[in-house]
Amino acid sequence: MISRIKHLLHRNRHRERYALLDELLRNQSLSNEQLHRKQQEDLSAIIDHAFSNVPYYREMWERHPGRESLNSRPGGRSHNAVRTVNSLPILRKDDVIQHRNEMLAQGLDRSRLKIGNTGGSTGKPVSFYYDAHKGELMRAGMCRSYMGSGWKPGQKILNFWGARQDIKGGNRFSKIVNDAIAAEKTIAAYEYTEAQLHDWASAIRSYQPVLLQGYASILAELARHVIDNKIRMPDTLLGVFSTAEVLYGWQRELMERAFGCKVFNQYGSREIPNIACECRHGNQHIFTDMVYLESLNFDQEDRLVITSLTNRVMPFIRYEIGDSGRLKEGICDCGSPFPMMEMGLCRSNDIIKTRSGKSIYPSYFIHLLDGLDGIKQYQFIQSEPDKITLNLVSPSSLSAETLNSLRARVRRDVDENMVLEINAVDEIKRTVSGKHRFVISNLA
């Protein structure tokens, strides 16, 4: 009863959010063709808006060869929006850093804008302007994703946010922490000990949430603690939403075992939220009513390039977000009209380059430790062209034979001169954004 009243108060406070959610849910019942048409129209509209109102894009596109297709537009919307967007230049993180102010649309009331920051897991924190509408749309989009698990608006969510910047200071996220009418609690999960993991497991037992949400590495640690200590989790749990980091198969397994429910991988960033989310059938669906996503092959990788269809304050058009992935053909049994994609493994991890010019993808290192027991955390760091340091947090030390075999495999697969230095450490520090990075290259 109390929770029902709280939910009504919440709806009343966030009218815009719930209206946006209704709209998003309606889009979900459109056909593939209707959605595709809507995406073309939205794409066309955001390009028009950026060209007419945003100094950065106007100047950039006027100088660009793709200009022809932009200029041929007036009077006819019949042009192919996809062809137009494909002719536009790619927006890089450096461009956003350098041109933040010129990327703002003209004629806005600047006093209503706020500045947000990305985590900076790729080493380049990006700051951007946003307004209350973007915040509400972001939350509405997340609610739609949650609903895929069977969760209903008003049901409890427990968040484990690892970002230091969100926990210190009085921004949006810290406000959630003590929000009495939101059915949501947030635990600051930046650094932790076994004792803290134990407290968090107790918090889940007493709060009895329907969803858990947080960084994959934190939730996997918590899952390991729950399994090791045979802690019983409440059967209210319907889903675990993993966000902001690559979700590895072994992490998913741990979480599903510990929490007794399905894990859903969400994909979005602070500058462009709600890009895609997994359905019950384990397929990642792209929210084509919110983004236009391209996968372009450069640097020998399928890089994701994203256009936000909703951000009119500071449009992001053909933004190279720093992740890899590709579009996936076919239709999913879940019945969602949204097309599918697959994430690459490189998110927030680095590629290791050898002196001879070979590139080794993070997944190689992530699988190097497969099958070894007792490793709680690890991180590979390349500090010199011929040296990789592996920091291991492990209660029992690995045998000399195992260590030698790891070194030999690295010499065989990576480079014959590559030295693997293995250190036992007590803990591995997270990045400022709270993400855990498994593979880091400190080479320029």
Q: What's phi and psi for 352, nearest 5 deg?
A: -90, 130
In whole angstroms, the minimum distance from the beta carbon of 277 to Zn ion comes to 10
E strands, 132-236, where? 157-161, 184-188, 211-215
Exactly one of 254, 255, 279, 369 binds Zn ion (CB under 5 A); that residue is 279
Within 317-356, which residues bind Zn ion (CB under 5 A)? 332, 334, 336
In whole angstroms, give the CA distance from residue 350 to residue 169. 30
281 vs 429, beta carbon nearer Zn ion: 281
203 vs 334, beta carbon nearer Zn ion: 334
Measured in whole angstroms, how far is the alpha carbon of residue 63 from the centre of its chain? 33
In this structure, what DSSP letter does residue 261 have? Answer: S
414 binds Zn ion (CB under 5 A): no
In whole angstroms, the minimum distance from the beta carbon of 330 to Zn ion comes to 10
In whole angstroms, the minimum distance from the beta carbon of 284 to Zn ion comes to 8
In this structure, what DSSP letter does residue 102 have? Answer: T
Residue 391: CB atoms within 10 Å: 18
In whole angstroms, the minimum distance from the beta carbon of 241 to Zn ion comes to 16
177 binds Zn ion (CB under 5 A): no
Within 188-227, which residues bind Zn ion (CB under 5 A)? none
| Stretch near Zn ion under the rule CB under 5 A, chosen from 100-108, 158-166, 264-272, 273-281 | 273-281
113 vs 334, beta carbon nearer Zn ion: 334
Q: Are strands 276-278 and 284-286 parallel, antiparallel or unpaired?
A: antiparallel
122 vs 283, beta carbon nearer Zn ion: 283
In whole angstroms, give the CA distance from residue 145 to residue 284. 11
27 vs 377, beta carbon nearer Zn ion: 27
E strands, 210-339, where? 211-215, 239-243, 262-267, 276-278, 284-286, 291-298, 301-308, 319-328
Q: Are the C-beta atoms of residues 255 and 280 closer than 8 Å to each other? A: no
412 binds Zn ion (CB under 5 A): no
160 vs 264, beta carbon nearer Zn ion: 264
E strands, 189-253, where? 211-215, 239-243
In whole angstroms, the minimum distance from the beta carbon of 32 to Zn ion comes to 13
Q: What are the residues facing 157 on neighbouring strands?
A: 184, 211
Q: Are the C-beta atoms of residues 312 and 326 closer than 8 Å to each other? A: no
49 vs 326, beta carbon nearer Zn ion: 326
In whole angstroms, the minimum distance from the beta carbon of 145 to Zn ion comes to 12
Exactly one of 149, 274, 283, 324 binds Zn ion (CB under 5 A); that residue is 283
| Stretch near Zn ion under the rule CB under 5 A, chosen from 200-208, 242-250, 277-285, 292-300 | 277-285
E strands, 398-443, where? 419-424, 439-441
| Stretch near Zn ion under the rule CB under 5 A, chosen from 134-142, 282-290, 301-309, 357-365 | 282-290
28 vs 174, beta carbon nearer Zn ion: 28
Binding-residue total with Zn ion (CB under 5 A): 6
In whole angstroms, give the CA distance from residue 420 to residue 417. 10
In whole angstroms, the minimum distance from the beta carbon of 213 to Zn ion comes to 20
In whole angstroms, the minimum distance from the beta carbon of 336 to Zn ion comes to 5
In whole angstroms, give the CA distance from residue 237 to residue 156. 9
In whole angstroms, the minimum distance from the beta carbon of 252 to Zn ion comes to 16
Per-residue interface string for the shown chain with Zn ion, residues 227-266, x marking contact by CB under 5 A? ----------------------------------------
Helix (H) / strand (E) element for 115: namely: strand 114-117
283 vs 433, beta carbon nearer Zn ion: 283
31 vs 396, beta carbon nearer Zn ion: 31
331 vs 424, beta carbon nearer Zn ion: 331
Positive or negative, the CA dihedral 327, 331, 333, 338 is positive
Within 53-82, which residues bind Zn ion (CB under 5 A)? none
Comparing CA positions, the residue from 49, 120, 58 lying closest to residue 89 is: 58
In whole angstroms, the minimum distance from the beta carbon of 278 to Zn ion comes to 8
In whole angstroms, the minimum distance from the beta carbon of 279 to Zn ion comes to 3
Q: What are the residues facing 440 on neighbouring strands?
A: 381
Determine what percent of the chain falls in helix, strand and coil, rounding each to the nearest 5. 35, 20, 40
235 vs 333, beta carbon nearer Zn ion: 333
Exactly one of 281, 355, 358, 412 binds Zn ion (CB under 5 A); that residue is 281
Burial of 74 by CB count in 10 Å (0-12 exposed, 13-18 middle, 19+ buried)? exposed
In whole angstroms, the minimum distance from the beta carbon of 286 to Zn ion comes to 11
Q: Are strands 419-424 and 387-393 parallel, antiparallel or unpaired?
A: parallel
286 binds Zn ion (CB under 5 A): no
For tokens 């858990």, the residue is: 212
Q: Under the rule (CB under 5 A), what is the footprint of Zn ion?
A: 279, 281, 283, 332, 334, 336
